[in-house]
Structure 1
Amino acid sequence: MGSLGCDAHGDLNDAEFSKPLPSIGLYVAVASLICGLAMAADLLHGFRHRKFWFPCKFFSLNATSLTFIGVGIKLSVDLNTSMPSRHDQLSKLSSSVFVCTVMGNSMPSLGIMENQDLLMNLMALGILVITDVVNICIQLGTGAIYVFKEEHFLVLLLMLLMLLILSFSATTVPTSKRILEAKYKKKYVALKCCPLVTERTTVAKRIQQDLSKFWMMAHTSSPQFVMARSVTCTASGFFCLLSAVTLGEAMVRSYLLTPKSLGFCHGDSDYKWSTFLVLVCQTSAVAIGTVAPATRWFTAVNFHCPIRGKKSYRDEFRVESYWTHWFSEKKQRPLSLSSLKNRSCRKIAHDAKRWVLDVCIGIQYVIVFASKVIRYISVYCVSRILICCHFAIRTTGSVSHVESESSNPSSRQEFAKFVLHLEGEDELVDLMVRNNREATDHWVKNGRKKQPVNLIELLEATTTISKGFEGIKDFDSNEVASLAASGEPPNCWALPLVTLTTIAVALPNVKPCSVKKLLNAVNEALDSVSKFEHILDTGGELANLRKAAEVVWLGVDLYHKWFDVDLWKLSKQHKSPEETLRELVEVAKKEFSESWQMNLMACMKHKPSHWPIKTLAANSMYRICQTILYSYESRDYGTGEALLKNLETTISDIVAGCFCNVGQVISVKCLVTAVEVREESVRGAALHLGKTEKIIEIVERRCLPELKCDQMKSIDEWRAFYKISSSDFNNKTVSPDLNELCIFVG
């Protein structure tokens, strides 16, 4: 009977039931702390990247965060556990304020969700909030919450208002994305067809200037930024700040001002010590999480202060059309009522739908109008303080920032053309230009701190030897017989680099430091080459070749092995370079034969580019080694060091040829990526530009062949050009200035 919870007399024994509650309180505290840490990470990320609208990178509305929020409100929804003490009652209030903070902090994250995820996450949040509100109302009625009743009523009202704002603001996400995406593509095409940079300067500088415009377009059309600068987000930030102030007022009143007059009961709850821990963790989360919403609110107030240039409020309370566009669009579409045969029923259903949507449109009007009223009142109240601060700064002579803002108006006007904004945001254009005009320069400077030193050194050393890209032509000879009767796979940029480096590691009588420097240089090169190929190979035709390069390079770089061949051991056999190459040829033929036999059906069925990874790697090793051996008849490579220098030159030429596509890569990254991640993509392009700026300058000094931009992305197109024009190659090259558009964004 004891195991069933009854005593010896058959009565319920509930003495043990409350023992787990302190552990549950600890669980609530940990969940609240995790949310607080995630919001703190977003705060640090915003400060670090100078995004003072604080995008949601680590904390957003999703299944994980909603689970933690559900755990975090455990105390406020507990209906029947006695909570007599000061810590207990405050923890009830802190749980509700915690929900308000979460909603205010995560509002920008609505912009990055797909429509289905947006609906599901808001429904889940709505269930949590309504459950919390109902349970608190019950506790207020039963007396489980017997102090801070006014604070609870205010927080519940704020919670419901913020849920309403969040839900109706979400309906603008599809519309704003569609509007700004259309504007982005229009500006992109205009910039691509008619580049604005006309002065003669380096290729890297021209790319950077165009990237600045792409960044302005990508940043100002970022869905998170669009949501963060909206008037409803400003109102949400104000409500979030007000709820935090309410919690602060309750804590000050209970601890400092009139703790005895509040009439707290004596005794501990069943949660015991854990309620104090919950209060500390949730208060900390509220304090941290309020910074971002409050900053968004204050930024909007600061901008609309009259001293900042806002003199007229004529259009201040106008509700723009995009706020209700989603509802209007749904209102025009017919319902799918094929199962209803009765015409009167279908008419009633359609009328009901139109009536509901009309109500939603009205609510949306009220929400937006009320949000603008809140902003106006905030501006009216805070502007007096801001005006005093402004005049105090002016009287002390600290006007350098203002002067800097007014400098170079032509540059600001040029960038203003690339600010993408919605209806009613015209006044924000100048602010967005001021805050983001130098962002690209900042990322480029950060990229310069991580330049690939070894690769730059290799390119500098070999550029004095090779003024063109002869290595692309010479690494694989057409005279070499094919290993397979079904044809030859195409070449990619990465696999020849890896194979040539593998051969270099196996060469005898070579200084280890020279090989180590080459390995480091190729490792740095592959970081860019792999990214370039992934972007340029839109059809995925060369995917297996890239995988083969990755697999081979992993073994060569970390273990100095080409599959099962120990390259260090091979280099110590005191053979001549020619003998080493012949041994690699035999190993490659063996590996190719074994792989071909094991995957015969796949090799015969698929195109050569889709052969297995090992087959492709062995074929590349065989052809390149045979090409070098074939060259021995016409050239005397001599020692291993001499052949190593030749391999370094070939590797340098291939890397340089690949880097001629940097403009196309950046162009693709600025357009093709999804709108949710485009801002990050352009930022990454700016970082990469700074990182490889020196390499682009080195490549620019070489003579480029007369290839179209679409041809330059394929190494086989380069080889085909050299094959056709081998007789008069010197006459078929042009200076970088004449062919600059091939490596220019656009």
Structure 2
Amino acid sequence: MGSNSLVEYNKILNQLNTYTNIPQHLISSFRHFSLLIYRSDEQNRFSEPMPWIGIYIALASLLCTLAMVADLVHGIRAKKLWFPSKYFTLNAASLSVIAVAIKLPMDLNNSMPGHTDQDAKIGSLAFMCTMMANLLPSLATMDNKELLTNIIALSVLVITLVVNVCIQIKTGLLSLYKYQDDLFETTNEGKDQSSSYMYVYTHRYGIVSTFYLGMLLMLLLTYVSSSVAILKSKQILNSKYQGGHERALKELESAGRGRLTVEKLKQHVTSYWIMAGTSSPGFVTACSATTSASGVICACSAGLAVLLMYLTIGYLREYKSDYKWSMLVIFITQFIGVILGSIAPLFRCFAYFSFNLSIKWMWNHHINVFKVESYWTQKLCDWKHSSIPFSVSSRIRKVIIRNLISAILSICIGFQKTVVVACKMIALIPILLVISVLYCTSCWKRMNKSEQLDKFKDLRRYIFTLEEDIELAERTLKGMTKSVNLVIRKAEKQQPSNLIKLLEGCSSFEGVGGYGNGSLHVPVLHTEDDHDLTCWSLTLVTLTAIAISIPNVSKKVTDRLLSSVSESLVYVTLVEESFNIASDGYVSKQKAAKSLWLEVELYHKWLGNELTKLAPQVTTAKQILESFRDTAENLNTEVGSLNICAESMYHTTKTFLFSYGDTIDKASREELFGELSSMIADLSAACLTNLPRVIAMKCHTNVIEKREESVHAATELLGETMQIINMLQDHQLPTLNTEELRLTDKWRGYLKHPSS
């Protein structure tokens, strides 16, 4: 009847009222339906935005699908076929998006009479199973607090979903009614057949929903079980990693003081790459029985979704709910998400056996499937034997509470063992396929066994596993070493070419001492502390500002110098930050250098002054330096960073003028530019001699969740700077210890007084 159905209905009743042959009580009974019609009109009006809400659901589903595909692509590109969760992780944001994506099965009172409507609601359950299987490895990247919070949040979401679907199964909302005959259909004889109108109730959707609910609950159990194991496994892996770290440090010290070659750095980086990879909670979790079981469940979920699509492919345009055409969009989007999102869990399904285990171990594991390793239940046992976390005054109450907690945890331990055994049994499904594949390649591996053992003999000392009887497969170890070489080769293509050209002109480090003199006392202008305010990066920026201000130097030459210094500052700043000089003064200087460099590089200005107009009347090199000196001396500001930059300029120009004495009077502007460029090259080279130590330091971090990221950054840095390290190998370093080599003042003091 449309939006004006109530008005039309009242007109009909008024017209009927004019007829004398129609009983008034019959017309009065018709008027009782006015309220129902009014409510129907209101419901239709309220349902008008529902298709756009459906599009919102489809967009949330698409976002989750893209995140899962991104993890898939990242795993393939990084040669990590256990597919770590990098983009699609369990957190507040992802849970919010997931809650939107599964809105359909959460809906308790919206009728879904069409095939597509029912399929879309069931498809959301399959999509939820897929997302949970993909999110499982991300648990390993969380600390204890995040882990607890996210597991509770996910449990609330899943349990709410399960309860809502159970209610819909009970009320019949998750079912499909088919019309046997048309309403009020009459036969040819004119006989009313309304009595033959009936519903044929089909249980297909209720049965499929029940299967999906069982999968969701099993996945939730694997989450809880994995979380308990992760808490203990991190402690075990961290302890083993610390032992390997100490061993690697001893080998690094034996490599020689201050002279780490590229080859030794490659060995060092590879050792840490293997340590970080095999002790990574993400790798261990991805190769665990629970993750393998979740992969099998996800594969079953996807197979059921494909079967459901096959059965209803001819009814895809049959949508009758308030969501209208958006139901088809939701169904197709989530079906694509199920198919693409099932790939990574399917690979993880085999990771438990294929990435880190030998055929012999798999066979033994198949026999001892009911064995539950200690790390699965150790955390629960620790809680069971720990003291009560709160104070209780009464001894009797304390005994009762203690016994109650012990009983609850004993039940949890038994339940945990049951879940682990169930997961191991599920995980045995793909074992026959894995054993067959590995057996076919075993002959080829025997031919190369001696070579592989010699090649990986030293690296096996850095392999860490939770179970002592596990031996990492050679193919996995070989894959890890290939990953290191791949990252290095890729980073080699990004080497700083301009910086390398600048360093090619550096034959010694004499320029480091050329702008300072220990016998000259330069008064402090704007700070209270009377100490040298230079640091590597600030000095480089200051010298570059002077160099590009020199008139009549071609733009091509100055641009090349700017590009070289820009590339140099990336690594110089990294050296300074890596050694973590914690004094407030040094940190302030680094910040001032970063701010000043933006001004110099982008706008060719120094503290707001145009470099080309700072001293327009100057004609000699000495006048240029004096102009910068006077400008810095006359600067009047209360901004701390500006004062630091002015101090650096004043100190540099003052000592430069003193160091070169009368020779500066005779120097041309071109000679001054050449001398400054040489100093910049020498300073960069001197600072970058610390790069091997920086690379070695970046390999290690105490935060277990960030170790893979840290060693990856160190490997990239090695690839980018290999040519620089090789270039500086032939340079004679000062007789300074490792701590002194990172400080500008120590370099200058040695170069001015090498005998001291």
TM-score (norm 2): 0.86
What SS does the corresponding residue of 1:709 show, helix, strand or coil? Answer: coil
| 1:61 is the counterpart of 2:90 | yes
What SS does the corresponding residue of 1:462 show, helix, strand or coil? Answer: coil
* Matching residue's letter, 1:184: Y
The 1:198/1:627 distance shift into structure 2, 3 A limit, reads closer
* Matching residue's letter, 1:428: L
User: Deviation of residue 574 (structure 1)?
Assistant: 5.6
Higher mean Cα deviation, 301-310 or 365-374? 301-310
Higher mean Cα deviation, 510-519 or 12-21? 12-21
* Matching residue's letter, 2:313: Y
8 A contact 1:40–1:289 mirrored in 2: yes
User: Deviation of residue 480 (structure 1)?
Assistant: 4.6
Instruction: Give the whole-Å Cα distance in 2 for the aligned partners of 1:369 and 1:632.
Output: 80
* Matching residue's letter, 1:159: L
The CA deviation string for residues 445-472 of structure 1, in whole angstroms up to 9 with x for no partner, is 1111011111111111222xxx2x2222
Instruction: Give the whole-Å Cα distance in 2 for the aligned partners of 1:266 and 1:524.
Output: 62
The 1:305/1:555 distance shift into structure 2, 3 A limit, reads closer
What SS does the corresponding residue of 1:194 show, helix, strand or coil? Answer: helix
User: Deviation of residue 344 (structure 1)?
Assistant: 2.0
Instruction: Give the whole-Å Cα distance in 1 for the aligned partners of 2:271 and 2:750.
Output: 34
* Matching residue's letter, 2:233: S
The 1:486/1:687 distance shift into structure 2, 3 A limit, reads closer
| 1:244 is the counterpart of 2:287 | no
8 A contact 2:515–2:653 mirrored in 1: no
User: Deviation of residue 196 (structure 1)?
Assistant: 9.6
The 1:582/1:402 distance shift into structure 2, 3 A limit, reads farther
Aligned residue in 2 for 1:427: 471
Of 90, 97, 113, the residue aligned with 2:126 is 97
| 1:154 is the counterpart of 2:211 | yes
Aligned residue in 2 for 1:481: 522
Aligned residue in 2 for 1:334: 387
The CA deviation string for residues 688-727 of structure 1, in whole angstroms up to 9 with x for no partner, is 111111111111111111111122122222234345x34x
8 A contact 1:508–1:573 mirrored in 2: no
Instruction: Give the whole-Å Cα distance in 2 for the aligned partners of 1:73 and 1:129.
Output: 10
The 1:226/1:384 distance shift into structure 2, 3 A limit, reads closer
| 1:215 is the counterpart of 2:273 | yes
| 1:375 is the counterpart of 2:403 | no
The CA deviation string for residues 399-449 of structure 1, in whole angstroms up to 9 with x for no partner, is 878856763321212111101211256133544312202222211111110
* Matching residue's letter, 1:247: A
The 1:296/1:571 distance shift into structure 2, 3 A limit, reads farther
Matches within 5 A, 1:569-608: 569-570=613-614, 573=617, 575-591=619-635, 594-595=636-637, 598=638
User: Deviation of residue 150 (structure 1)?
Assistant: 2.3
Of 612, 618, 638, the residue aligned with 1:568 is 612
Aligned residue in 1 for 2:588: 544
8 A contact 1:451–1:691 mirrored in 2: yes
* Matching residue's letter, 1:626: K
| 1:501 is the counterpart of 2:570 | no
User: Deviation of residue 306 (structure 1)?
Assistant: 8.0
What SS does the corresponding residue of 1:704 show, helix, strand or coil? Answer: coil
The 1:425/1:640 distance shift into structure 2, 3 A limit, reads farther
8 A contact 1:304–1:310 mirrored in 2: no
| 1:288 is the counterpart of 2:340 | yes
Higher mean Cα deviation, 178-187 or 300-309? 300-309
Of 48, 55, 58, the residue aligned with 1:29 is 58
The CA deviation string for residues 175-218 of structure 1, in whole angstroms up to 9 with x for no partner, is 22222122112111112123498799971111111111011111
Matches within 5 A, 1:532-681: 532-541=575-584, 542-570=586-614, 573=617, 575-591=619-635, 594-595=636-637, 598=638, 612-636=640-664, 638-672=667-701, 674-681=703-710
User: Deviation of residue 489 (structure 1)?
Assistant: 4.3
8 A contact 1:419–1:432 mirrored in 2: no
Matches within 5 A, 1:113-124: 113-124=142-153
The 1:377/1:238 distance shift into structure 2, 3 A limit, reads closer
The 1:170/1:349 distance shift into structure 2, 3 A limit, reads same
Of 198, 202, 206, the residue aligned with 2:264 is 206
Aligned residue in 1 for 2:249: 192
8 A contact 1:215–1:679 mirrored in 2: yes
Matches within 5 A, 1:297-446: 297-302=349-354, 310-313=362-365, 315-338=368-391, 340-380=392-432, 382-383=433-434, 386=437, 391=440, 407-423=451-467, 426-428=470-472, 430-446=474-490
Instruction: Give the whole-Å Cα distance in 2 for the aligned partners of 1:589 and 1:107.
Output: 62
* Matching residue's letter, 1:139: Q
User: Deviation of residue 385 (structure 1)?
Assistant: 6.0
The CA deviation string for residues 665-708 of structure 1, in whole angstroms up to 9 with x for no partner, is 12322223522111111111111111111111111111111111
User: Deviation of residue 153 (structure 1)?
Assistant: 1.2
* Matching residue's letter, 1:481: V
What SS does the corresponding residue of 1:417 show, helix, strand or coil? Answer: helix
Q: Which has the larger radius of gyration?
A: 2
What SS does the corresponding residue of 1:324 show, helix, strand or coil? Answer: helix
Instruction: Give the whole-Å Cα distance in 2 for the aligned partners of 1:134 and 1:126.
Output: 12
The 1:97/1:311 distance shift into structure 2, 3 A limit, reads closer
* Matching residue's letter, 2:590: R
Of 71, 82, 102, the residue aligned with 1:73 is 102
Of 313, 317, 320, the residue aligned with 1:268 is 320
* Matching residue's letter, 1:482: P
* Matching residue's letter, 2:120: S
Matched residues, number: 689
Aligned residue in 2 for 1:604: none
The CA deviation string for residues 227-258 of structure 1, in whole angstroms up to 9 with x for no partner, is 111111111111111111111111112227xx
What SS does the corresponding residue of 2:151 show, helix, strand or coil? Answer: helix
The CA deviation string for residues 552-609 of structure 1, in whole angstroms up to 9 with x for no partner, is 1001100100111111234765622211111111111122xx12xx36xxxxxxxxxx
Q: Which blocks of at least 5 consecutive residues in structure 1 are unaligned?
A: 1-5, 600-611, 730-746
8 A contact 1:31–1:72 mirrored in 2: yes
Aligned residue in 1 for 2:14: none
* Matching residue's letter, 1:20: P
User: Deviation of residue 533 (structure 1)?
Assistant: 0.8
Instruction: Give the whole-Å Cα distance in 2 for the aligned partners of 1:402 and 1:686.
Output: 32
User: Deviation of residue 104 (structure 1)?
Assistant: 0.6
Q: Which blocks of at least 5 consecutive residues in structure 2 are unaligned?
A: 1-5, 11-33, 176-203
User: Deviation of residue 163 (structure 1)?
Assistant: 0.3
Instruction: Give the whole-Å Cα distance in 2 for the aligned partners of 1:646 and 1:556.
Output: 19
8 A contact 2:286–2:352 mirrored in 1: no
What SS does the corresponding residue of 1:15 show, helix, strand or coil? Answer: helix
8 A contact 1:31–1:69 mirrored in 2: yes
Higher mean Cα deviation, 150-159 or 296-305? 296-305
* Matching residue's letter, 2:523: S
The 1:17/1:666 distance shift into structure 2, 3 A limit, reads same
Aligned residue in 2 for 1:606: none
The 1:384/1:620 distance shift into structure 2, 3 A limit, reads closer
Instruction: Give the whole-Å Cα distance in 1 for the aligned partners of 2:492 and 2:663.
Output: 40
User: Deviation of residue 527 (structure 1)?
Assistant: 0.6
Instruction: Give the whole-Å Cα distance in 2 for the aligned partners of 1:719 and 1:353.
Output: 67
Aligned residue in 2 for 1:608: none
8 A contact 1:235–1:375 mirrored in 2: yes
Higher mean Cα deviation, 226-235 or 264-273? 264-273
Higher mean Cα deviation, 701-710 or 489-498? 489-498
Instruction: Give the whole-Å Cα distance in 1 for the aligned partners of 2:489 and 2:356.
Output: 33
The 1:571/1:207 distance shift into structure 2, 3 A limit, reads farther
Of 666, 670, 690, the residue aligned with 2:719 is 690
